[in-house]
Amino acid sequence: MGKKVYMDNAATTQTKQEVINEMIKYFNEMYGNPSSIYDLGRTSKRAINKARTSVAKFINADEDEIYFTSGGTESDNWALKGVANANKSKGNHIITSKIEHHAILHTCEYLEKQGYEVTYLDVDENGVVNIEQLKESIKDNTILITIMFANNEIGTIQPIKEIGKIAKEKGILFHTDAVQAVGGLRIDVKDLNIDLLSMSAHKINGPKGIGALYVKKGTKLDNFMHGGAQESKKRAGTESVQNIVGFGKAVEILEENFDEHIEKITKLRDRLIKGIKDNIADIKLNGHPVNRLANNVNFSFNYIEGESLLLYLDMEGISASSGSACTSGSLDPSHVLMAIGLKHEIAHGSLRLTLSDSNTEEEVDYVVQKLVDVVNRLRVISPLKG
Amino acid sequence: MGKKVYMDNAATTQTKQEVINEMIKYFNEMYGNPSSIYDLGRTSKRAINKARTSVAKFINADEDEIYFTSGGTESDNWALKGVANANKSKGNHIITSKIEHHAILHTCEYLEKQGYEVTYLDVDENGVVNIEQLKESIKDNTILITIMFANNEIGTIQPIKEIGKIAKEKGILFHTDAVQAVGGLRIDVKDLNIDLLSMSAHKINGPKGIGALYVKKGTKLDNFMHGGAQESKKRAGTESVQNIVGFGKAVEILEENFDEHIEKITKLRDRLIKGIKDNIADIKLNGHPVNRLANNVNFSFNYIEGESLLLYLDMEGISASSGSACTSGSLDPSHVLMAIGLKHEIAHGSLRLTLSDSNTEEEVDYVVQKLVDVVNRLRVISPLKG
Amino acid sequence: MYTEKVMEHFRNPRNVGEIKDADGIGMVGNAKCGDIMKIYMKINNGIIDDVKFQTFGCGSAIASSSMATELIKGKSVDEAVELTNKAVVEALGGLPKVKVHCSVLAEQAVKSALYDYAQKNNLVVKGLEDFNPDEDVHEH
Amino acid sequence: MYTEKVMEHFRNPRNVGEIKDADGIGMVGNAKCGDIMKIYMKINNGIIDDVKFQTFGCGSAIASSSMATELIKGKSVDEAVELTNKAVVEALGGLPKVKVHCSVLAEQAVKSALYDYAQKNNLVVKGLEDFNPDEDVHEH
Ligand SMILES: Cc1ncc(COP(=O)(O)O)c(C=O)c1O
Ligand SMILES: Cc1ncc(COP(=O)(O)O)c(C=O)c1O
- Residue C82 belongs to domain spanning: 4-120
Give the per-residue pLDDT at B2: 78
Nearest residue, CB atoms, C56 vs list A304, A325, A327 = A304
Cα gap B28→B44, rounded to integer Å: 12
Residue D21 neighbours by CB distance under 10 Å: 6
Q: What element of type H or E holds A63?
A: none
Residue B357 C-alpha to ligand 1 middle, in angstroms?
A: 39
Q: Is the pLDDT of residue B326 over 80?
A: no
How much of chain D is helix, strand and coil, in % rounded to 5?
Answer: 45, 20, 35
Cα gap A252→A53, rounded to integer Å: 10
Whether D132 maps to a domain, the answer reads: no
DSSP string, C4-44: HHHHHHHHS-SSBS--TT-SEEEEEEEGGGTEEEEEEEEEE
Cross-strand bridge partners of residue A213 = A67, A198
Which residue, among C14, C34, C17, has the nearest Cα to C25 in the 3D structure? C17
Whether D135 maps to a domain, the answer reads: no
Please give the positions of D annotated as active site.
Answer: 33, 102
Give the per-residue pLDDT at C140: 37
| Ligand 2 surroundings by CB, under 6 angstroms | A 237-238; B 71-73, 76, 101, 103, 148, 152, 177, 179-180, 200, 202, 211
D-contacting chains (≥3 CB pairs under 8 Å): B
Cα gap B377→A138, rounded to integer Å: 66
Cα gap A5→B136, rounded to integer Å: 64
Q: How many CB pairs under 8 A join B and D?
A: 72
Greater confidence (C140 vs B262) lies with B262
Residue B13 C-alpha to ligand 2 middle, in angstroms?
A: 12
A-contacting chains (≥3 CB pairs under 8 Å): B, C
What is the band of B298 on the pLDDT scale with cuts at 50, 70, 90? very high
- HEC letters along D56-82: ECCHHHHHHHHHHHHHHCCCEHHHHHC
Q: Is the pLDDT of residue C139 over 50?
A: no
Average pLDDT over residues C93-109: 94
Give the tens place of pLDDT for each residue, D71-90.
Answer: 999 999 999 999 999 999 99
Q: Is the pLDDT of residue A143 over 60?
A: yes
- The domains found in chain A, sorted by start residue, are 5-13+258-380 (3.90.1150.10), 17-256 (3.40.640.10)
Q: Do D34 and B344 touch (CB under 8 A)?
A: yes
Cα gap B47→B382, rounded to integer Å: 56
Cα gap A123→A134, rounded to integer Å: 11
Cα gap B145→B119, rounded to integer Å: 9
What is the band of B162 on the pLDDT scale with cuts at 50, 70, 90? very high
Q: Is the pLDDT of residue A323 over 90?
A: no
Q: Which residues of A touch B70 (CB under 8 A)?
A: 69-71, 74, 209, 237, 240
Q: Which ligand is nearest to the CA of A9?
A: 1
CA dist list (Å): A95 to A92, A108, A137, A138, A196? 10, 9, 7, 8, 14
* Contact between residue B211 and residue B68 where contact means Cβ atoms under 8 Å apart: yes
Nearest residue, CB atoms, D56 vs list B333, B343, B382 = B382
Give the per-residue pLDDT at D137: 55
Average pLDDT over residues A43-56: 98
Per residue in A191-201, is it b (16+ CB within 10 Å) or e — as a string? ebbbbbbbbbb
What is the band of B327 on the pLDDT scale with cuts at 50, 70, 90? low
Query: CA-based angle B35:B41:B45, to the nearest 5?
Result: 70
What long-range pairs does D124-128 form, CB within 8 A, spacing at least 24? D125/D77, D125/D78, D125/D81, D126/D78, D126/D81, D127/D78, D127/D81, D127/D82, D128/D81
Average pLDDT over residues B116-123: 98
Q: Is the pLDDT of residue C136 over 70?
A: no
Number of domains, chain C: 1
CA dist list (Å): A294 to A262, A264, A273? 6, 9, 12
Q: Do A324 and C27 touch (CB under 8 A)?
A: no
Q: Which residues of A touch B109 (CB under 8 A)?
A: 226
Which residue, among D60, D66, D52, has the nearest Cα to D23 in the 3D structure? D52
Give the tens place of pLDDT for each residue, D92-104.
Answer: 999 999 899 999 9
Angle between helices B306-315 and D59-72 (to 10 degrees): 90
Cα gap A16→B269, rounded to integer Å: 42
Nearest residue, CB atoms, B384 vs list D56, D62, D138 = D56
Preferred mutation among C32, C95, C139 to probe A, highest tally of A CBs within 10 A: C32
Please give the positions of C annotated as active site.
Answer: 33, 102
Nearest C-alpha of chain D: how many angstroms from B159?
32
Report the relative pairing of strands B93-97 and B117-121 from DSSP bridges.
parallel
Q: What is the CATH number of the domain that holds C83?
A: 3.90.1010.10
Report the relative pairing of strands B350-354 and B93-97 from DSSP bridges.
unpaired
Whether D85 maps to a domain, the answer reads: yes
Q: Is the pLDDT of residue C120 over 60?
A: yes
Whether D91 maps to a domain, the answer reads: yes
* Contact between residue B244 and residue B103 where contact means Cβ atoms under 8 Å apart: no
> Model ipTM?
0.94
What is the band of B146 on the pLDDT scale with cuts at 50, 70, 90? very high
**How far is Cα of residue B189 from the mean position of the Cα atoms in its chain?**
16
What long-range pairs does B108-115 form, CB within 8 A, spacing at least 24? B108/B80, B109/A226, B110/A223, B110/A226, B110/B81, B111/B80, B111/B81, B111/B84, B114/B84
What is the band of A100 on the pLDDT scale with cuts at 50, 70, 90? very high
* Residue from B326, B338, B372, B377 carrying the catalytic annotation: B326
| Terminal-residue alpha carbon distance, chain A | 36
Whether C108 maps to a domain, the answer reads: yes
- Identify residue A56 by its one-letter amino acid code: A
Ligand 2 mutation target, pool B96, B203, B208, most atoms within 8 A of CB = B203
Cα gap B151→D83, rounded to integer Å: 45
Give the tens place of pLDDT for each residue, A153-180.
Answer: 999 999 999 999 999 999 999 999 999 9
CB-count burial class (<10 Å; 0-12, 13-18, 19+) for C133: middle
Give the tens place of pLDDT for each residue, C38-47.
Answer: 999 999 999 9
Q: Is the pLDDT of residue D14 over 90?
A: yes
Whether C126 maps to a domain, the answer reads: no
Q: Do A383 and C55 touch (CB under 8 A)?
A: yes
Give the per-residue pLDDT at B57: 98
Query: CA-based angle D121:D124:D127, to the nearest 5?
Result: 130
Cα gap B121→B123, rounded to integer Å: 7
Residue B183 C-alpha to ligand 2 middle, in angstroms?
A: 13
Give the tens place of pLDDT for each residue, B168-212.
Answer: 999 999 999 999 999 999 999 999 999 999 999 999 999 999 999
DSSP B384: S
Ligand 2 mutation target, pool B101, B106, B298, B354, most atoms within 8 A of CB = B101
Give the per-residue pLDDT at C132: 81
Whether C41 maps to a domain, the answer reads: yes
In chain B, which residue's Cα lies nearest the Cα of D39? Answer: B383
Per residue in B239-275, is it b (16+ CB within 10 Å) or e — as a string? bbbbbbbbbbbbbbbbeeeeeebbebbbebbebbbeb
CA dist list (Å): B364 to B276, B293, B352, B360, D60? 10, 17, 13, 6, 28
The CA R_g of chain A, rounded to the nearest whole Å, is 21
- Phi, psi at A114, each rounded to 5°: -85, 5
For residue B56, the SS3 value is helix
Residue C88 C-alpha to ligand 1 middle, in angstroms?
A: 38
Q: Where are the alpha helices (DSSP H) in chain B?
A: 17-28, 39-58, 72-86, 102-113, 131-137, 160-170, 230-233, 241-256, 258-279, 306-315, 335-339, 344-348, 361-381
Q: Which ligand is nearest to the CA of B105?
A: 2
Residue B21 neighbours by CB distance under 10 Å: 11
HSE (side-chain half, CA atoms, 13 Å) at A24: 14
Cα gap B237→B143, rounded to integer Å: 28
* Contact between residue B152 and residue B292 where contact means Cβ atoms under 8 Å apart: no
Q: Do B20 and A40 touch (CB under 8 A)?
A: no
Cα gap C26→C53, rounded to integer Å: 9
Give the per-residue pLDDT at B240: 98
Cα gap D69→D107, rounded to integer Å: 10
Q: Which residues of B touch D35 (CB under 8 A)?
A: 305, 326
CB-count burial class (<10 Å; 0-12, 13-18, 19+) for B58: buried
Residue B237 C-alpha to ligand 1 middle, in angstroms?
A: 7
For residue D135, the SS3 value is coil
Which residue, among A95, A108, A182, has the nearest Cα to A146 in the 3D structure? A95
Average model confidence (pLDDT) for chain A? 96
Q: Is the pLDDT of residue B101 over 80?
A: yes
What long-range pairs does D116-122 form, CB within 8 A, spacing at least 24? D116/D24, D116/D25, D116/D26, D117/D23, D117/D24, D117/D41, D117/D43, D117/D77, D118/D24, D120/D23, D120/D24, D121/D23
Cα gap D62→D14, rounded to integer Å: 10
Which residue, among A226, A232, A201, has the nearest Cα to A64 in the 3D structure? A232
Point out the ligand 1 atom lying closest to the alpha carbon of residue A209. 10
CB neighbours of B46 closer than 8 A, spacing ≥ 6? none
What is the band of A325 on the pLDDT scale with cuts at 50, 70, 90? low
Whether C69 maps to a domain, the answer reads: yes
Q: How many CB pairs under 8 A join A and B?
A: 238
Give the tens place of pLDDT for each residue, B243-285.
Answer: 999 999 999 999 999 999 999 999 999 999 999 999 999 999 9
Q: What is the pTM of this model?
A: 0.95
Nearest CA to ligand 1 atom 5: A72
Q: Do D61 and B305 touch (CB under 8 A)?
A: yes
Cα gap C126→D8, rounded to integer Å: 98
Average model confidence (pLDDT) for chain B? 96
**How far is Cα of residue A202 from the mean position of the Cα atoms in its chain?**
10
